[in-house]
Structure 1
Amino acid sequence: MVERMVPDIHIVFDCADPDRLARFWMVALPGYDFPHGPPDGFATWEEWADANEIPDQERNAGRTLVDKQGHRPDIFFLRVPEPKITKNRIHLDVKAGGAVPDAERRARIEAVGNQLVAAGGSIHRRVDDDEGFWLVMQDPEGNEFCVN
């Protein structure tokens, strides 16, 4: 019998500033962090890049975030030259509300929305209809996502 491989996924953002966007999503998705610190003997990645004569224009080409618990997919942020122009065809939902009474759920969603605004995101609109309440937001580069 041939064993069937089950594909895994990674989430990849094309962006202008991988470091800034990775740091925003670390706030949006608690538990995600950079996979490791700089190599032994270096206090920062910047110090390592200086020692290895990495040109400034190559230092922010990409960033990776991993779920420190190992349950969620890795997230990559890759620098691309072109700007985001149109609406996303796919987006992330940040599940903040939980299964609690409506007033508490709304308060949780608003609190997370406010935290993400402070981190550089913006609230595009609030949705409050028969399906429920959620926020449509944008990260610092305009990528849309929902907090629900």
Structure 2
Amino acid sequence: MAHTFQVTFDAADPRALGEFWCAVLGYVRDAPPEGFATWEEALTAWGLPEDRWNDKNAVSDPDGAGPRIFIQKVPEPKTAKNRMHLDVNVGAGLHGEGRVERVRAEAERVVALGATLLSEGSELGDFWIVMRDPEGNEFCLQ
């Protein structure tokens, strides 16, 4: 039996990190619960103080193919290299210089969204760029 999963990030600003990953992956913020037009309406109805409205966020693939990303607020900053990271395949179906150009173009777009470029690598015909999201989490474009 296969199980579904979500990827969870710790963050200082869950809303902003969710917006970043929506822009990178083509995801959307999860809809508010049934019966509420907005998350703010739901959180108000539940009595959650406004200063806690950014404690959690979740974004999902609108087509349902990719895993949900859940983002939770934590008080401490990221201090070490990730032991796990996302590989975002932006060059699917391309080979050689066409793939390299596509990955580099996507890296430029993602840097404009707030990411940091760390390094480029290639091996056995593959090409990737290692990056950090605005909260410092490493990920690769390939």
* TM-score normalised to structure 2 length: 0.87
Instruction: Please tell me the root mean square deviation across aligned C-alpha atoms, in Å.
Output: 2.2
1:136 alignment counterpart: 130
2:98 alignment counterpart: 104
1:36 alignment counterpart: 31
Give yes or no for the alignment of 1:73 onto 2:67: yes
Aligned-partner Cα distance in 2 for 1:128–1:71: 28
* Kept in 2: contact 1:39–1:48 (CA 8 A): no
- Structure with greater Cα Rg: 1
Alignment of 1:28-67 (within 5 A): 28-30=24-26, 32-36=27-31, 45-46=39-40, 54-67=48-61
Aligned-partner Cα distance in 1 for 2:52–2:44: 12
1:92 alignment counterpart: 86
2:16 alignment counterpart: 20
Aligned residues between the structures = 142
By how many angstroms is 1:54 displaced?
Answer: 3.8
Point out where structure 2 has 5 or more consecutive residues left out of the alignment. none
2:4 alignment counterpart: 8
One-letter identity of the residue aligned with 1:69: D
By how many angstroms is 1:24 displaced?
Answer: 0.5
Aligned-partner Cα distance in 2 for 1:57–1:33: 23
Secondary structure of 2:60's match?
strand
* Kept in 1: contact 2:32–2:39 (CA 8 A): yes
